[in-house]
Structure 1
Amino acid sequence: MAGQGEGRTLRRRRLLQSVMLGGCALPVAAGLLRPSAARAAQEAGSGGGTPTTGVNGDQGYEPAGSFEIVADFYGPGPSGVVVTDSGRIFVGFPRHAVNHKGATLGELVQGRVVPWPGADLSLPSAAAPADRLMSIHGMTMDTQGRVWAIDDGKLAGQPLQPGAAKLVCFDPQTNRLVHKIVLTAPALLPDSHMNDLRVDMTHGPAGTAYVTDSSFGHSPALVVVDIASGRQRRVLATHPSTQAEPGFMAVVEGVPLVYTPGKPLRFVVGGADGVTLSPNSDRLFYAPLTSRRLYSLPTALLADPTVSEAALAAAVKDEGEKGTADGLATDAQGRIYTTNFEQDCILRRNTDGSFDLMVHDPRILSPDGIFCTKTHVYCTLGQWNRLASFNGGQDKRKPPYHLIRFPIEPVPAYNTEQKI
């Protein structure tokens, strides 16, 4: 029995270590996770498809799905990510957990993180908080191909400074700043954690931005910003759809952890966090970090400043459970991809409400920023649950931190012995 156990352990270890180089033109050679030979052969004989866990396979312990490691990061951990149609990759490295000295917004170029749009904005400097990037967190791209980011403005161990929290928009064609909207009270609170954003170009003269404030305290909400005027308002600040759920329990890396307001935090918690738009921007989907529920609202109501708080609350739709999601992203077919820090996986919510397991692997720790291109889903893995603040002052993160991607459509499987 001991020999069989050792054999299984060795096979699993070899599985996790097996990679093959991808042939894509990316800043870092990609490592492609391969399923076990037995499962691959079985699927090839049955017509192919992405391996999954469950009653017809293993019970959730083995890796599933194929993903590539696009880039490995040492130093600051990554959060937001945007990939342009031309293949340029931009990544945010926030400073609210660790006040690092590297770029807070960078482009991946030939194995290097290049401060973007330039060192003057992305690196620490003596410039006023409103005139530089402090801590880039959530990122997105609008339908015009421009890169948007939320600067949460927070430096670890320091209070939020005036002018620090803001929305910024860059044109990747010119590498120039197109929009900068500083967030102010009453939309911004002293304990605000402006976390993620999506930009709707169908409402407002220049579009409307929807920002999730997950809060560093206990005051989460949604923030709606009219881009043309800079007018901003805080909504649903007391509605259950934006709140962290007291007593919420998650099992993270095998440890049961419970969120109890007023007690020291043992894992990453917060209110409204993940956010994404439907393909035609008619509906906004969002979710608290410390909750398993997914909610949505019509953007026609959310973008209209004349709609009352009561009317907004009445229009909130509970879309059901989605697991312990951080980031959310939507593909062109309207399917929503949800990161899952409890199961080390990324799920896909189909338009009928059913779910598919896209990738599952022990390396998918704290999946965070997520972004859909036409063909792939990209996701950053920040290992945030291993920060010193959640582990008695001991930083348990183990670089490198990964940026991964997986195909939206399953990788085809072939069997040369199959009869024609």
Structure 2
Amino acid sequence: MTKCLPDQIMGPSSESSLQHGVSRRHVVGGVTLAPLAAGIAAACGASPAQAQQAPAQGTSTTGVNGDQGYEPAGTFEIVADFYGPGPSGVVVADNGRIFIGFPRHAVNHKGATLGELVNGRVQPWPNAALSMPSSAAPADRLMSIHGMTLDTQGRLWAIDDGKLAGQPLQPGAAKVVCFDIAANRLLHSIVLKNPVLLPDSHMNDLRVDLTHGPQGTVYVTDSSFGHSPALVVVDVATGAQRRVLATHPSTQAEPGFMAVVEGVPLVYDPAQKPRFVVGGADGITLSPTSDRLYYAALTSRKLYSVPTAILSDPKVSEADLAKSVRYEGEKGTADGLATDTQGRIYTTNFEHDCILRRNTDGSFDLMVHDPRILSPDGIFCTKTHVYCTLGQWNRLASFNNGQDKRKQPYHLIRFPIDAVPSYTAAPE
């Protein structure tokens, strides 16, 4: 009998491929998928999903007694390749279903903004009426899905940043949405409004805390398309929303911040047009018990946290909330953050083309490093794997004198949380 984990993602014709050692790819509907063992997916009772087994990416010797950080390290799989819109947010349900957000704030594309990977295609989800462009009012459809997460009840939450490239932010466009995955049904749509929503807001990512509030509390990072970042707190039951820590150092992009991106030293100057992806509060993640929220500005190397008991309480003053913020040390040039069941935080790193893990004692491990890990963005932990989208955002035309330097395909990758054991047939 075949045994599998809930998040094992397999392709439709993998058995014959594995028998013949084939690594060919299928290209259907804008997604490239390579087959891996469909019988395992069937044994799990999951719908046929997809994954591509990438070749081993080297050993974890980068740095200490190894190379100086140029060679690949760690092992990851390419779950899917994307042609067309670039991917951002990612969620993997317990039964292996994969959902991807394709935001429209950088490129106003005509594809689905929220999709499920099904049999080699990006299927608009929960349906085409919501996910595809239409003439419906901004409040009645999905405009630009960015950050995504699961709550502890297995429901999918996403932040619709509401922004279409080249257009002003429309009323009703930016919102927090929640879906019942099993029923493919929209459960909540909470429109974000002034004064929480600013004209230059970039509602970027979110986490959902079901331990505070009758129906839970949502925490959103507004990284800002301008210079007005903050955290946003939304009570699900009432829809009440607050903008907090808008002037606190923990949410701000740091002037003079310098990063080396694909070998080019780049400096953030608020008075100049950005030459790389910059912003305030961006990465966000909860502790396993939801008692603490961790967050970080994109244009900063600093990680902060705040107790959710204080953050979720509208009676707490801004001054007292600021006093409760704790500096957690540096985390590198992180975009997305995710937490595993042991409380370890995974941080993407666009400067070193890698993904790091911050252990509970504050130390870090290098999980994967590879030149293909460009602009690692949305990141998600299952019980056994970490998934991450690679959108090549630093290569957008807006950062390269009008020249789009992205090279398709874009990737969705995953790597195991625990090291894969190695075996040898040599005698001891």
Q: TM-score, normalising length from structure 1?
A: 0.91
> Quick one: which of 70, 85, 94 aligns to 1:85?
94
Q: 1:375·1:409 contact (CA, 8 Å) conserved in 2?
A: yes
**SS of aligned partner of 2:309:** helix
Secondary structure of 2:288 counterpart: coil
Q: Residue 272 of structure 1 is aligned with which of 277, 281, 288?
A: 281
Aligned to 1:405: 414
* Distance across 1 between alignment mates of 2:199 and 2:96: 38
Q: Does 1:414 align with 2:423?
A: yes
> Does structure 1 residue 183 correspond to structure 2 residue 196?
no
1:375 aligns to 2:384 (yes or no): yes
The yes-or-no answer on 1:168 pairing with 2:177 is: yes
Q: 2:175 is aligned with what amino acid?
A: K
Aligned residues: 390
CA distance in 2, matches of 1:27, 1:383: 24
Would you say 1:134 and 2:156 are equivalent positions?
A: no
Measure, in 2, the Cα distance between the counterparts of 1:174 and 1:288.
35
Pairwise CA RMSD: 1.5
Matched, 1:230 2:239: yes
**Counterpart residue identity of residue 188, structure 1:** L
Residue 88 of structure 1, CA deviation: 0.2
Higher mean alpha-carbon deviation, 196-205 vs 19-28, is at 19-28
Partner of 1:45: none
Aligned to 2:52: 30
**1:283-340 Cα deviation digits (max 9, x unpaired):** 0000000000000000000000000000010110000000000000000000000000
* Candidates 196, 204, 216, aligned match of 2:205: 196
- The 8 Å contact of residues 27 and 70 in structure 1, kept in 2 or not, is answered as no
Rate the CA distance shift 1:57–1:18 in 2: closer, same or farther, 3 A: farther
Look up the match of 2:295.
Answer: 286
Query: Residue 264 of structure 1: CA displacement?
Result: 1.4
1:61 aligns with 2:70: yes
Contact 2:350 2:375 survives alignment (8 Å): yes
Using the TM superposition, give the Cα deviation of residue 22 of structure 1 relative to its aligned residue in structure 2, in angstroms: 4.8
Paired with 1:361 and 1:227, the residues of 2 have a C-alpha distance of 40
| 1:393 aligns to 2:393 (yes or no) | no
Amino acid at match of 2:209: D
The amino acid across from 2:324 in the alignment is A
**Which digits, 9 at most, give the CA deviation of each residue in 1:331-354, with x for residues without a partner?**
000000000000000000000000
Q: Indicate how the Cα distance of structure 1 residues 324 and 81 shifts in structure 2: closer, same or farther if over 3 A, else same.
A: same
What is the aligned partner in structure 1 of residue 8 from structure 2? none
- Find out whether 1:246 has 2:255 as its counterpart: yes
Corresponding residue to 2:326 among 313, 317, 320:
317
Aligned twin of 1:216:
225
Pairwise CA distance, 1:18: 12
Given that 2:57 and 2:370 are in contact with CA atoms closer than 8 Å, whether structure 1 keeps it comes out as no
Contact kept, 8 Å, 1:329 with 1:371, in 2: the verdict is yes
Could you say which residue in structure 1 is the equivalent of 2:346? Answer: 337
Contact persistence 2:49–2:97 (CA under 8 A): no
Aligned residue for 1:351?
Answer: 360
Q: Secondary structure at the match of 1:94?
A: coil
Instruction: Name the structure 2 match of 1:384.
Output: 393
Cα distance, 1:27 vs structure 2 = 3.2
Deviations 1:152-175 (A, max 9, x none): 000000000000000000001101
- The 8 Å contact of residues 18 and 34 in structure 1, kept in 2 or not, is answered as no
Query: 1:30: how far off?
Result: 1.0
Q: Deviations over 1:263-299 (max 9, x none)?
A: 1110000000000000000000000000000000000
| SS of the residue 2:378 aligns to | strand
Gaps of 5+ in 1: 1-16, 40-50
Which segments of 5 or more consecutive residues in structure 2 lack a partner in the other structure? Answer: 1-22, 26-33, 42-47
Q: Distance in 1 between matches of 2:51 and 2:378?
A: 21
Q: For 2:167, which of 133, 158, 163 is the aligned residue? A: 158
1:21 to partner: Cα distance: 7.0
Q: Secondary structure at the match of 1:31?
A: coil
AA at the equivalent of 2:288: P
Using the alignment, how far apart are the partners of 1:402 and 1:211 within structure 2?
25
Offset at residue 55 of structure 1 (A): 2.5
CA distance in 2: counterparts of 1:315 and 1:33, whole angstroms: 46
Amino acid at match of 2:107: V
State the structure with bigger RCO (CA 8 A, min sep 6), 1 or 2.
1
* 26-35 vs 294-303, which moves further: 26-35
Mapped partners of 1:350, 1:18: distance in 2: 37
Paired residue type of 1:158: Q
CA contact (8 A) 1:223 1:234 kept: yes
For the residue of structure 2 that corresponds to 1:365, the secondary structure is: coil
Q: Secondary structure at the match of 2:178?
A: strand
For the residue of structure 2 that corresponds to 1:174, the secondary structure is coil
Q: Does the aligned pair in 2 maintain the 1:18–1:33 contact within 8 Å?
A: no
2:310 to 294, 301, 314: 301
1:258 aligned partner: 267
For residues 246 and 99 of structure 1, what CA distance do their matches in structure 2 show?
Answer: 29
Does the CA-based 8 Å contact 1:27-1:71 persist in structure 2?
Answer: no
Q: Partner amino acid for 1:296? A: S
Question: Is the contact made by 2:51 and 2:77 (CA closer than 8 Å) also made in structure 1?
Answer: no
Structure 1 segments of 4 or more deviating over 4 A? 17-26
Amino acid of the residue matched to residue 34 of structure 1?
A
